[in-house]
Amino acid sequence: MSLRFRLNLMIGLVMLAIIGMGTLFVVHNARRSVAEEVRSSVNLALQLIDAGLEQAVAAGRSPVDWIAQLARLDRTRHLSLSVRQGESAIIDLPSSSHPAEGEEAPGWFAWAVAPEPRVAEKHLHQLGNPMIQITIDANPADEIAEAWIEARGFLLLMLALAITVYLVVHTTLGRAFKSVGVILEGLEDLENGDYSRRLPEFYLPEFARISRTFNHTVCTLEKTREENRALTQRSLAIREEERRHLAQELHDELGQSLSAIKAIAASLRKPERDDEATTDAIGAIQSICDHLFTVLRTLMQRLRPLMLDELGLKASLEDMIENWRSRYPRIALDFSCDDGIDECVGDARIHVFRIVQESLTNVVRHAGAAHLGIHLNLIEAAGGRPEALLLEVSDDGAGFDPAQAPAGLGLLGIRERVESLRGRFSLRTRPGAGVTLSIEIPCQDPCP
């Protein structure tokens, strides 16, 4: 459960507990009030009967005549009056209960506040006549209805206050946790490497401090990443320049020296010199020179593909792919490349070339794949203008656990190059399911 749900649940339970305790308090007081009122009514009726009998006796009237006059009374509100002499009933007045419409107490309330039944009896003994029995039975219905009217108002007021408090707290928490949600979204963007997100200035001072601290941290991280990206680009540029210079030196110095050695060896092979040992030595020199020429061309190609500067990225990649197909015929290699790649990547073409080259090396060394796909496609903007290059490299090899990336600098170097170009790097793999590498690089110099 989220913190917001827990707080709302706790507040709701507290409000229900308050309402429950208030209801118990109201029921307790109502029950006590009804019981007291019923007891008072019964006692008052007994006192009135005693007083009436005393006045009748003092006036010389018969108690039976005075009691018979009670039959003229209408039904009493709280009491039932019954007078019996022997086996005959003289008076039978049930109570009158006529609560106003809509004011009758509900069953649960009546059951909760109803007092214990209270019946009072009075006996009059007369010489020569049967005993007169006066029975007073209390009826608390009207008192319960009146208690319900008072309790209902209090309960409604307490319910309204509880709902108001809950809504106020819920609204306050909702606004506060809305700020928490914005902060969490910002942290997720930060985790994903998006440093462009800025948090707004919240109205709560605690969240406002978090917002300012977060924005300062993001600015610092963004500045640091830009500095690291610039250093990485500078480092890669220096490394490529050193490779280019080394390739040029190999071509100019070592290549010319080997050519001179081979030419001298060829000049020594003359018809008049038929010394077999000399001829074999000259042939060995020429063979070694041919082998060194092959090694030299391979080294120069790996250090700095001359075709990249002369014919562009697409032609260089096609040439490299053909060489790999001839060297590793067991791997079925599917390659496709859109036109306009060179115009999109601009000066970053050497980095794209190195990424593809490193991907091929990783597949051969580690994947054990039978099929490999390399696809370079242009992503077009709304106006049809290329805005990014999408490179996808996928194989059906062994794969690996992304949480335990294999040791080595291959993937690290690829990621480093992609980040230096402000691109996005995505790796999908699992053991036994191959590897899919997706790289998106924004165009350095988009075509108009």
CA angle (329 as vertex; 324, 335 as ends), nearest 5: 55
CA angle (405 as vertex; 402, 408 as ends), nearest 5: 155
Alpha-carbon distance 317 to 319, whole Å?
5
Residue 431 pLDDT > 70, yes or no? yes
Percent of the chain with pLDDT over 90: 0
Question: Average of pLDDT values for 313-342?
Answer: 84
Residue 126 pLDDT > 50, yes or no? yes
Please, what sign has the CA dihedral across residues 407, 408, 414, 417? positive
Check if the beta carbon of residue 68 is closer than 8 Å to that of residue 128: no
pLDDT of residue 203: 77
Categorize the per-residue pLDDT at 72 as very low, low, confident or very high, splitting at 50, 70 and 90: low
Question: Average of pLDDT values for 87-96?
Answer: 61
Alpha-carbon distance 89 to 67, whole Å?
12
pLDDT digits (tens, 9 = 90+) for 343-352: 887 777 888 8
Percent of the chain with pLDDT over 70: 74
Lowest mean pLDDT among 160-164, 238-242, 267-271, 285-289: 267-271
Please, what sign has the CA dihedral across residues 50, 55, 59, 61? negative
Amino acid type, 255: G
pLDDT of residue 101: 46
pLDDT higher for 25 or 432?
25
Q: How far apart are the first and last CA of the chain?
A: 53
User: Which range has highest mean pLDDT (61-75, 88-102, 160-174, 281-295)?
Assistant: 160-174
- Tokens linked to 321: 């792919």
CA 178 from chain center: how many Å?
12
Categorize the per-residue pLDDT at 89 as very low, low, confident or very high, splitting at 50, 70 and 90: low
Residue 239 pLDDT > 80, yes or no? no
Categorize the per-residue pLDDT at 147 as very low, low, confident or very high, splitting at 50, 70 and 90: confident
pLDDT digits (tens, 9 = 90+) for 354-364: 888 888 888 88
pLDDT higher for 121 or 161?
161
CA 335 from chain center: how many Å?
40
Residue 375 pLDDT > 80, yes or no? yes
Residue 61 pLDDT > 50, yes or no? yes
**Residue for token pair 């008076």:** 91
Residue 73 pLDDT > 60, yes or no? no
pLDDT of residue 274: 55
pLDDT of residue 118: 75
Check if the beta carbon of residue 193 is closer than 8 Å to that of residue 172: no
- Residues 6+ away with beta carbon under 8 Å from 295: none
- Rounded to whole angstroms, the maximal C-alpha distance in the chain is 185
Question: Average of pLDDT values for 92-118?
Answer: 69
Could you tell me whether strands 129-138 and 386-395 are parallel, antiparallel, or unpaired per DSSP bridges?
A: unpaired
pLDDT of residue 100: 47
pLDDT of residue 88: 66
Lowest mean pLDDT among 85-89, 173-177, 228-232: 85-89
CA angle (213 as vertex; 209, 215 as ends), nearest 5: 115
Q: What are phi and psi of 198, to 5 degrees?
A: -125, 140
Categorize the per-residue pLDDT at 436 as very low, low, confident or very high, splitting at 50, 70 and 90: confident
pTM above 0.85, yes or no: no
Tell which phi-psi region holds residue 422, choosing left (phi > 0), alpha (psi between -120 and 50) or beta: left
Alpha-carbon distance 397 to 435, whole Å?
7
Please, what sign has the CA dihedral across residues 104, 105, 108, 112? negative
pLDDT of residue 252: 63
Q: Mean pLDDT of all residues in the chain?
A: 76
pLDDT higher for 76 or 417?
417
Amino acid type, 393: V
